[in-house]
Amino acid sequence: MVEEMVPYMRRRFKLNWQKAALLVIDVQEYFRPLFSGILGNIKRLLWAFRTLERPVVFTVHGHRDPERDGGMLYRWWGELIREGTFDHRIVQELEPKEGEKILPKRRYSAFYGTDLEGYLRGLGVEEVVICGVMTNLCCETTARDAFMRDFLVFFVHDATATSLKELHLASLKNLAYGFAVVLSTEEVIKELGL
């Protein structure tokens, strides 16, 4: 897969761990079937950011009343994750630690209608590392929004997943071309100096 992305990987920036935060997107029970293959890599990223005492933000997608707060997502999909249900929970294997931000969201982007940008700026964060699900929906939209807010974006190709390989690859190509530095988990950990 990496070979197919090479022509699109035109920009190369080095990750500065002192300015970076980890965004863990929607690792909820609802999406468990999608991320079984990336769970170990997300754990490694969490370990690295926790070791360096850098900010970690978990997003949690959910709706109280989809017909009222679901907007186009509800119209598009016809079903949404309801807050307070089993599907809404962050999976136990990736349980947030005390002090790590849990960010509720109702749209694909973690920035839309949330305090994420202000929270990150308040911590001096200028770079974000993105992992989680789904590559082509919440992860990609968050990455694009981060870029538009002038954050340097690092997107971890083997710590993100979606329902189809071709959607995953298409997103990675688009992101590498115009929005993010696409790296492996191992490359991120090396750049963090661990």
Which pLDDT value is given to residue 47?
98
For residue 132, give the nearest of 122, 143, 123, 121 by alpha carbon: 143
Using CA atoms, how far residue 49 sits from 24, 29, 56, in Å, is 11, 23, 7
Q: What is the pLDDT of residues 54-92, one digit of tens each?
A: 999 999 999 999 889 999 999 999 989 999 999 999 999
Q: Tell me the C-alpha distance between 191 and 134, whole Å.
A: 24
Q: Is the pLDDT of residue 36 over 90?
A: no
Q: Copy the structure tokens of residue 55.
A: 């900010």
pTM: 0.96
Asked if 46 and 39 count as a contact pair (C-beta separation under 8 A), the reply is no
Q: What is the pLDDT of residues 119-174, one digit of tens each?
A: 999 999 999 999 999 999 999 999 999 999 999 999 999 999 999 999 999 999 99
Q: Which positions ≥6 away from 125 have C-beta within 8 Å?
A: 19, 20, 21, 55, 151
Q: Is the pLDDT of residue 9 over 80?
A: no
Q: Which domains does the chain have, with CATH numbers?
A: 17-191 (3.40.50.850)
